[in-house]
Amino acid sequence: MTQATRRAILAVVTGIVLLALGLGAAVVVGDALGIRTEPAAQMQPAAPAVAEVADAAAPPSISSLDVPTTERVGVAVDELLDAVADAPERVGEASVNVVQASGEDDPAADGYTLEGDGSALRIVAGSETATVRAIYDLAAHVRAARPLPDLLGEHEPSRLPLRMTDLGAVGVTPDPAEWESGDDYSHASKAFADVLRPEAPYIDDAALAEAYEDFDGFLRHSLANGFNAVAFPGFVEFVTFDDAPGGPVYADGDDHRDKALALREAFAPFWERADELGMKVFLRTDMLALTGPLEQYLTDRFGSLDTENPEFWDAYTAGLKELYDAVPALDGVLIRIGEAGPVYDVGGWDSYSALEVTTVDAVRAMLEAFTGQAEASDREVIFRTWSVGVGAVGDMHTNAESYEAVLGGIDSPALIVSTKYTLGDFYTWLPLNDTLEQGEQRRIVELQSRREFENYGAFPNDLGPEYQWALQQLLAANDRLEGVWVWTQDGGPWRAGPMSLYLKAGFWQLYELNTQVAASLARDPSVDVAQVTADWAREWFSDDPATVEAIVAAMGASRDAIAQGMYIEPFAEQRVFAIGLEPPPMMWIFEWDILTGDSAVLDVMYAIARDADGGVEAAISGGAEAVEAVERMRELVTAPDASAWRSAEMREAFVSTLDYELDTLRLLAAYRAMILHQGEWHDTLAPEAHAAWDADRAEFEALAAEHLDRYEGDIDHPAFNLAAAQLGVERAERDLTMAWLARVLLVFAGAWLLIGMIAARTRLVRRPGAAAARASWIASTRPWRARESTLGMLELDRWLLLAVPAALLVATRAVQTSFLSWTHLAVVFGAWAMFALVVRACVGRRSPWPVLAAVGGVVVLRCLLTLFAVAFTGPGGYWFGFWTDPVLRTAYITLAFALFVWVFVAAGWALSAQVGARRATGYVLAGVGAGFAVPAAVVGVIGLETALTLWNDEMGLLPWGLARILGITTYLEIPASTPWVAAGAGAVLLVLGVLLALPWQRRGAAAS
């Protein structure tokens, strides 16, 4: 066998190995993406109904009251008297008499009987709790303008005894300046920011007094709505940790201790007031909750934040005991482990959270410690299953097996497990969370009134039928269900949407409906939700039956407007999985108010819509259906005479929010059509699809300009954030031009390749550049002949041998990025430049043309592959295939990877004829190491998150909002040290390459 034959066989084997490695890389990428779908079992709430609304009944004046003289009953009576006073008129008089059994009060025994008639009402109650409920029911009937005798009869105890609310907007200052920018995605409420002071005495007494009145008003309103517990934010802020084992945590003179005592003294009256009124108080905290000295104490004691060590939690349980001893009014603690970090922290105070409880052992160690302490102190621990991530703890919120792995066997009577009713976050189209149907623990259901992902409650959004169906299903499946936790205000960023603050600013009455219906369902899951809606409409908007019916009918259509207008049904009704996570059913709005323009989401969304019943056009039609629904809602609300409304301001608020929703959903409908027709063009290459996209684009841009002009800076109706969408449009507008440029470059590169292949057998060999093309072809496919292929070349051919591949590489990468990503080009060309410089330095006085011919030739082949992929419909089509077609993705990655590695194999092979195999390998390894190390180090200096954000903004691959809200590295769990690890690996290759490149003398030669 000749040497040429052996080399040819080796080349073929090498090619096969590289293709196999490329196929392996493609499989790994496909597995990492993990893009798949499965049908989602949709909730099946009853169709919305409109209750028959009777004429308003004027309440009687309360002529006499014979009730227990307790503060709790007195506050309930205040609500009844206020309701009567607020009525437009009063007819007749009535007395209210309470017959209450003596003995210990049972908070769960709130059933009562109302006897008598319209002029003399007698409440027969077995406990103070029952008495208070009866009085609040009378007040609610008055506000709903319903006759009080309708309440006569026996009233069963509430089905769910624990009805908890968040803190609403208590302590939050409605400062318009903080909402004007609309891009503050912090989740910190800044509650009590006016109360807290960084220096002693740490508390502003005047602001504290105002906050107390704010809190008292919130308690009164929540009690009237039917709630009996409140989640109050904070924990470590109120603890000195004086009794922490191995302490002290705070050294002498540390102001953390003084602050804790000051804050505890300031807020203890809040908790005691809640207790006085029959409201349980749970301190709401993330775990780990830390201060600087506390973190140092824990690290010194355990070597790290070792949350799996049972003794680690002793400091926290000691802190809870300290609090409970100091303030007996506290009823327990509410813990979340699934979210933490700076997005929740408040500047200026050394208290923060860390995402450290991430393993099954850590969760179980924490809960065993906390429940043990709770049992000993007669308190309760509410543990939220909300978590985001990989593994049993990461998906225990949605995975029945993970729930059991984390919580199975923990059956403390002091433990209550709290879970969102949706299988994920509070989105429409998600299935019912079936993990609420399992477990031996006590359970409560989380509900959100001000739906954060559906424009923060700024649109009408009647969740009554859905709440009812969900609670009825869960109660039938799990007899351990005992309560609800209703978020009246919280969830998501506080200042990125409308400045609607519960009970104090904006059109909060709109989402008050969901709060009231949730409390009503917790008491009686079979309640007529249409009647609850009518009562809400009558309380806040009008006494006129026709107007109330119109509002109820409009609210009945609100869910269709949300479900179709803010979601793309074929995508939303599927469970979609990607990169080890389950993206939510919205995604094209990521998150909250950012209309996304990234290819990953929009291309996958199109592919799912394409394959669904009705295809793309059916998916597009949902936008028009939503617009029509809002138009009907507006007609309903504006049809009654304006004088029938209780106030012109409330009518204006309702009509304005419908105008805002109509404008927004028209914008979203145009965008939906545009992105789906864009995907259709990439998929089918049909000119008609491109023409449809272009028409949609023009409509979207016109509507976007109108939307921004009308609503930008409006703190009640804020404009959507269209930055990412406009970047996506800019990229899409360049696709066709880039496709034509790719075709031109493809012809040029193909001609160069063809000339190289046939030049030796034609007269072309005498033409300028033919020898360079021939050398490039030979060196790239048979690198052992690189040296001979470059012998005798003219100066022009040599420069063409360098210039053509380099220019083609620059042009290809520029076209591939639509001339928009200079970050991408800088990294790619920086890496190539470092490789070339190091290899050139190693070659020294030897001829560089063989290795240049080999590398340049393979670069041309690699560019041909990329240009071919881009030539159909531009870079957008390239990424469309990557995200949606596993076969094309696998084929492309296989070839691209093989050619990429072949560059370096060919370079080493070409050099080996000049310096030998060992030193040639060293040259290449040194070049590769430098090519990795220098760009990676630059990225490390800049910061990985910053670099990825800049690159993604230019490329538009992942949601633009990802970096602004969660952080790309955080969401994808990419360690911040990654660039430095890459730089270190590159440095190792560089050193290894240098060692191999050095001339080695044999011992025998040295001795002689």
- 374 close to 412: Cβ distance less than 8 angstroms: yes
Q: Residue 575 carries which DSSP code?
A: E
d(CA 350, CA 29): 42
- Whether the per-residue pLDDT at 214 is higher than 90: the answer is yes
Residue 319's pLDDT band (cuts 50, 70, 90):
very high
What's the pLDDT score for residue 976? 87
What's the pLDDT score for residue 768? 76
What's the pLDDT score for residue 108? 81
d(CA 782, CA 4): 10
What's the pLDDT score for residue 10? 87
d(CA 106, CA 157): 11
- Whether the per-residue pLDDT at 344 is higher than 90: the answer is no
- 200 close to 480: Cβ distance less than 8 angstroms: no
What's the pLDDT score for residue 464? 97
Tell me, what amino acid is at 227?
F
Mean predicted confidence (pLDDT) in 698-703: 98
Q: Tell me, rounded to whole angstroms, the distance of Cα 936 from its chain centroid.
A: 29
- Whether the per-residue pLDDT at 573 is higher than 70: the answer is yes
What's the pLDDT score for residue 763? 64
- 827 close to 937: Cβ distance less than 8 angstroms: no
Backbone phi and psi for residue 885, each to the nearest 5 degrees, phi listed first:
-120, 100
Residues whose CB is less than 8 angstroms from the CB of residue 776 and which lie 6 or more positions away in sequence, other chains included: 752, 756, 801, 804, 805, 853, 856, 857, 860
Residue 9's pLDDT band (cuts 50, 70, 90):
confident
What's the pLDDT score for residue 1008? 40
SS3 369: helix
Mean predicted confidence (pLDDT) in 89-102: 93
d(CA 498, CA 716): 5
Residue 1's pLDDT band (cuts 50, 70, 90):
low
What's the pLDDT score for residue 565? 97
Element (H, E) at 992: helix 978-997
Separation in Å, CA 681 to CA 65, 518, 569, 621, 873: 74, 46, 21, 18, 8
- Whether the per-residue pLDDT at 294 is higher than 50: the answer is yes
d(CA 34, CA 30): 6
Bond preceding residue 466 cis, omega within 30 of 0: no
| pLDDT tens digits, 364-409 | 999 999 999 999 999 999 999 998 765 678 889 999 999 999 999 9
What's the pLDDT score for residue 118? 87
What's the pLDDT score for residue 762? 67
Mean predicted confidence (pLDDT) in 828-842: 92
- 169 close to 503: Cβ distance less than 8 angstroms: yes
What's the pLDDT score for residue 973? 76
| pLDDT tens digits, 413-433 | 999 999 999 999 999 999 999
Backbone phi and psi for residue 929, each to the nearest 5 degrees, phi listed first:
-60, -45
d(CA 164, CA 175): 28
| pLDDT tens digits, 849-908 | 999 999 999 999 999 999 999 999 999 999 999 999 999 999 999 999 999 999 999 999
What's the pLDDT score for residue 764? 64
d(CA 548, CA 538): 6
What's the pLDDT score for residue 287? 92
Q: In whole numbers, what is the pLDDT of the chain averaged over residues?
A: 93
Least confident of 104-113, 598-607, 724-733: 104-113
What's the pLDDT score for residue 345? 55
**What radius of gyration do the chain's Cα atoms show?**
35
| pLDDT tens digits, 461-510 | 999 999 999 999 999 999 999 999 999 999 989 999 999 999 999 999 99
What's the pLDDT score for residue 793? 84
- Whether the per-residue pLDDT at 813 is higher than 50: the answer is yes
Question: pTM score > 0.85 for this model?
Answer: yes
Strand bridging mode 442-448 / 415-420? parallel
- Whether the per-residue pLDDT at 794 is higher than 90: the answer is no
- Whether the per-residue pLDDT at 176 is higher than 50: the answer is yes
Least confident of 29-43, 74-88, 445-459, 637-651: 29-43
Least confident of 158-162, 255-259, 267-271, 388-392: 388-392
Q: Tell me, rounded to whole angstroms, the distance of Cα 209 from its chain centroid.
A: 36
- Whether the per-residue pLDDT at 739 is higher than 80: the answer is yes
Tell me, what amino acid is at 243?
D
Q: Which residues are 36's β-sheet partners?
A: 577
Backbone phi and psi for residue 912, each to the nearest 5 degrees, phi listed first:
-60, -30
More reliable by pLDDT, 7 or 401: 401
What's the pLDDT score for residue 1005? 46
947-951-956 Cα angle (round to 5) = 145
What's the pLDDT score for residue 759? 74
- Whether the per-residue pLDDT at 84 is higher than 60: the answer is yes
Least confident of 72-76, 373-377, 993-997: 993-997
What's the pLDDT score for residue 1007? 43
What's the pLDDT score for residue 348? 61
Torsion of CA 238, 243, 248, 251, to 10 degrees: 40
Residue 795's pLDDT band (cuts 50, 70, 90):
confident
Residue 1006's pLDDT band (cuts 50, 70, 90):
very low
| pLDDT tens digits, 649-686 | 999 999 999 999 999 999 999 999 999 999 999 999 99
Least confident of 67-81, 311-325, 340-354, 446-460: 340-354
Q: Which among 203, 205, 133, 208 has a CA at the least distance from the CA of 170?
A: 208
Q: Tell me, rounded to whole angstroms, the distance of Cα 559 from its chain centroid.
A: 22
What's the pLDDT score for residue 106? 81
- Whether the per-residue pLDDT at 806 is higher than 70: the answer is yes
| pLDDT tens digits, 750-783 | 999 999 888 766 666 667 778 899 999 999 999 9
What's the pLDDT score for residue 966? 77
SS3 99: strand
